[in-house]
Amino acid sequence: MIYLGLLAEQENPANLLDARRWYEKAANAGNTGAMLNLGNLLIEADHPDVDGARRWWELAAKAGNPKAMNNLGNLLRNGPAGVIDLNGAHYWYETAAKAGNTTAMKNFGLLLEHWNPPDLKGARHWLEQAAKASNVTAMLELGMLLANRLRPPDRDGARRWWEQAAKTGDSEAMFNLGLLLAEQANPPELDRGRHWWKRAARNGSTKAMVNLGMLAEQENPANPDEARDWYEKAAKADNTIAMINLGNLLSRRYTPPDLDGARHWYEKAANAGNIRAMIALGHLLSRRYTPPDLDGARHWYEKAANAGSIAAMIALGDLPQ
């Protein structure tokens, strides 16, 4: 019966009514996999049935299904108001982790890391167990714990786990490795940091592209053309920090400055809600253009000021009437 439910879910379009009917038959006959799938079906519906999902997952969990235990932990940790029960999440994550579920090991480790007070020793243990079982997210999170939460930090350990995650193609691990090597190593390993940021950038990481652009600007001598290439790639992928950096580069690093190009990128970032870009655009229009566009500058300063920016309020007060 469970297989008939799976087949119904896999139809194009999915036949969710039939899937639910078959899962319910199998679940009522004691099949814990069907209970798990039925809970998944109910929670993923257009109008989620949280109580129904919880009921089936609890039945499956009490019958020993580790995936259902982990799902229950997720629901009790992250669910809607009235459902959250961190002690319950602790119990089910721990039970599933001890049953060998690597996703639960990772989730239990993260729960312990943010417990009150944090249990960093327990978090490290369970993240290590999941990482050793090839859970890439656990490798990433373990590196974060070792580099940023421990006192003193274990940067060698963080590097080792991030390198393992990076070898699987994980862009976030590549980015973190670049950050560790270029900014936290003593002495900095800029070439190795650049290597990992380039790999992350090839995988589409706009954060890595931004950092590569900043690195190119900070070289001696600076390489504004390389910086521009990286910022443009990230900006075209909607990274607002790259848009601002590109605007700064075009307006300050080139002779003659490309004010219209800078305005274009500041406007894109400002229209996306970036307050720094609104202020930069106000400065550009009021201080760099001849004649100044005071109305345009006032418009952007006011938007930033209405969003709570003290700097924009001061700039508005300094703007000629």
Q: What per-residue confidence (pLDDT) applies to 12?
A: 78
pLDDT at 2 over 90: no
CATH topology of domain 1-99: 1.25.40
265 within 8 A of 241, measured Cβ to Cβ? no
- Per-residue b or e along 265-280, where b marks 16 or more CB atoms closer than 10 Å to that residue's CB: bbbbbbeeebbbbbbb
| Tens digits of residue pLDDT in 73-103 | 999 999 887 889 999 999 999 999 999 999 9
Average pLDDT over every residue of 138-151:
97
This prediction's pTM: 0.88
Instruction: Tell me what pLDDT residue 126 has.
Output: 98
Statement: residue 8 has pLDDT above 70: no
Mean pLDDT, the chain, rounded, equals: 95
- The alpha carbon dihedral of 258, 262, 264, 265 has a sign of positive
Show the 3-state SS of the chain.
CHHHHHHHHHCCCCCHHHHHHHHHHHHHCCCHHHHHHHHHHHHCCCCCCHHHHHHHHHHHHHCCCHHHHHHHHHHHHHCCCCCCCHHHHHHHHHHHHHCCCHHHHHHHHHHHHCCCCCCHHHHHHHHHHHHHCCCHHHHHHHHHHHHHHCCCCCHHHHHHHHHHHHHCCCHHHHHHHHHHHHHHCCCCCHHHHHHHHHHHHHCCCHHHHHHHHHHHHHCCCCCHHHHHHHHHHHHHCCCHHHHHHHHHHHHHCCCCCCHHHHHHHHHHHHHCCCHHHHHHHHHHHHHHCCCCCHHHHHHHHHHHHHCCCHHHHHHHHHCCC
pLDDT in tens, 45-80: 999 999 999 999 999 999 999 999 999 999 999 988
Q: What is the pLDDT of residues 263-291, one digit of tens each?
A: 999 999 999 999 999 999 999 999 999 99
Contact 109, 126 (CB under 8 A): yes
Indicate whether 13 pLDDT > 70. Answer: yes
pLDDT for res 3: 67
Residue 150: its pLDDT value, please?
A: 95
Section 23-52 average pLDDT: 92
pLDDT of 135 above 70: yes
* Alpha-carbon distances of 22 from 36, 55, 167, rounded to whole Å: 13, 17, 42
pLDDT of residue 18 exceeding 90, the answer is no
Mean pLDDT confidence for 198-215? 98
Measuring CA to CA, how many Å separate 4 from each of 39, 52, 75? Answer: 16, 21, 27
Mean pLDDT score, 5-21: 76
pLDDT at 5 over 90: no
List the domain boundaries for the chain: 1-99
26 vs 71 pLDDT, higher one: 71
Q: What is the mean pLDDT of residues 237-250?
A: 98
Give residue-wise pLDDT tens across range 161-176. 999 999 999 999 999 9
Residue 210 tokens, joined: 């931004």
Residue 1: pLDDT band by 50, 70, 90 thresholds?
Answer: low
